[in-house]
């Protein structure tokens, strides 16, 4: 025949799954590092929230209807209750950035016929970080300091009564029923105070962020200009017996911080939850003991007794020549224990880690002797 089948050679596939050069890269993608400037958008420590409980379902209005039963009587059931709005502390949450400005509980369903009650509305759970303070009109109404702790921010409304509820000997055929009540409405202020065992307190460029990088896996920004750290970072120090000590890097304080100078009181409140303090002093500056006096003054001016917590003085930048000269002078002027180290080179970090564990063990024993449970990470 004039038509003949022509066999064309098969074209090679566009990609190969066996060739290492052409195969799809199946390596796990690393999480992209977020800069300190971008991280400030995600870290929110204050939030104003309006919460409204769910509305209760209305009562049912019906009469029983059945063959050969003319007067069946009322059978309208009650409505379901509205759902609550509940704040729940979650250890995985580290910021209030995911909290929306408005929450409302789910509404209850209306009562049905045949004495069927309406379903209750589901509760609305709002996850907040551990250490969240709940205020209303400036007054503290809740302090969520434990993982899983809950606080009912707004109660749901009660369900209405059906006409079956109003049946009595005087009224055998009630037609009256009640609607559901509206839910509670409140405006709350949420305030986050970082919960950590130890707090790094020091002036800008004292080396707090570098020290936190050296003893934990936290990655705060490090640069040669003041106020590099714009939000608190929490690093976890791991020990061989699986104990974990949380260390918070508080942004740098300056003179007059209790009067809202510099970063001001925005981060002084994060020191309130720290059980013991690590004063970081720059040994390379003239008269480094004056830094410690100024830091204690700012803490005491912000809250009385805050500077009297268990502490240790860390003399940073011991790798510099001027720091070795100032170290004996600092120890003469300071009554507390002074640990000289270098966060840059890692010199004498072991002494800090051992003393940090001693402070943590003392804190745990004190809490247990008072019948309280210590904070665990």
Domains of the chain: 43-193 (2.70.210.12), 198-370 (3.40.50.300)
- The structure's pTM equals 0.66
Say if strands 124-129 and 85-90 run parallel, antiparallel, or are unpaired. parallel
What are the 10-residue block averages of pLDDT along the chain, 377 residues in total?
50 48 48 51 76 93 81 87 94 84 93 88 92 90 90 94 87 87 94 82 82 80 55 81 85 52 57 86 87 85 84 89 88 88 87 91 90 75
343-370: b (≥16 Cβ within 10 Å) or e? bbeeeebeebeeebeebbeebbeeeeee
Q: Token pair for residue 341?
A: 């180290």
> Which residue shows structure tokens 């309130």?
272
| Alpha-carbon span 315 to 323, nearest angstrom | 8
Token pair recorded at residue 225:
């200009």
Q: CB count, 10 Å around CB of 94?
A: 18
d(CA 128, CA 97): 9
H/E element holding 295? helix 289-302
CB half-sphere exposure, 181, CA atoms < 13 A:
12
Measured distance CA(251)–CA(235) in Å, rounded: 14
Helix axes 208-215, 349-369, angle to 10 degrees: 80
What is the per-residue pLDDT for 253? 63
CA–CA gap between residue 295 and residue 279 (Å, rounded): 8
Q: Are 292 and 279 in contact (CB under 8 A)?
A: yes
Angle at 42 (CA atoms; ends 36, 43), nearest 5 degrees: 80
Distance, in Å, from the CA atom of 69 to the CA atom of 85, rounded to the nearest integer, reads 45
Measure the CA–CA gap between 166 and 343, rounded to whole angstroms. 76
Q: Sheet containing 244-249: which strands, arranged edge to edge?
A: 233-238, 244-249, 198-201, 276-282, 311-316, 338-340
């Amino acid at each position: 025949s004039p038509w003949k089948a022509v066999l064309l050679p098969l074209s090679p596939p566009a990609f190969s799954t066996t060739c290492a050069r052409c195969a799809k890269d199946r390596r796990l993608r690393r999480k992209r590092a977020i800069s300190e400037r971008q991280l400030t958008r995600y870290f929110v420590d204050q939030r104003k929230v309006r919460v409204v409980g769910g509305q209760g379902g209305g009562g049912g209005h019906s009469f029983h209807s059945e063959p050969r039963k003319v007067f069946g009587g009322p059978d309208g059931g009650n409505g379901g209750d509205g759902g609550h709005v509940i704040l729940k502390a979650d250890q995985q949450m580290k910021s209030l950035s995911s909290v929306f400005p408005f929450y409302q509980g789910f509404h209850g369903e209306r009562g049905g016929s045949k004495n069927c009650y309406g379903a209750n509305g589901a509760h609305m759970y709002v996850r907040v970080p551990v250490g969240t303070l709940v205020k209303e009109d400036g007054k503290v109404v809740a302090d969520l300091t434990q993982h899983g702790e809950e606080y009912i921010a707004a109660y749901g409304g009660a369900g209405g009564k059906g006409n079956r509820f109003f049946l009595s000997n005087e009224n055998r055929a009630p037609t009256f029923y009640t609607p559901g009540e509206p839910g509670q409405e409140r405006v709350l202020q949420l305030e986050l105070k970082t919960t950590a065992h130890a707090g790094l307190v020091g002036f800008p460029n004292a080396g707090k962020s570098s020290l936190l990088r050296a003893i934990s896996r936290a990655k705060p920004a490090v640069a040669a200009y003041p106020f590099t750290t714009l939000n608190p970072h929490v690093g976890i120090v791991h020990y061989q017996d699986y104990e974990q000590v949380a260390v918070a890097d508080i942004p740098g304080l300056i003179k007059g911080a209790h009067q809202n100078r510099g970063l001001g009181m925005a981060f002084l409140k994060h020191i309130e939850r720290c059980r013991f303090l690590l004063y970081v002093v720059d040994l390379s500056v003239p008269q480094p003991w004056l830094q410690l006096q100024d830091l204690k003054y700012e803490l005491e001016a912000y809250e009385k007794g805050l500077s009297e917590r268990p502490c240790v003085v860390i003399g940073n930048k011991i790798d510099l020549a001027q720091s070795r000269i100032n170290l004996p002078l600092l120890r003469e002027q300071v009554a507390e224990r002074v640990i000289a180290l270098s966060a840059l080179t890692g010199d004498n970090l072991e002494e800090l880690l051992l003393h940090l564990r001693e402070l943590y063990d003392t804190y745990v024993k004190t809490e247990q002797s008072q019948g309280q449970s210590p904070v665990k990470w």
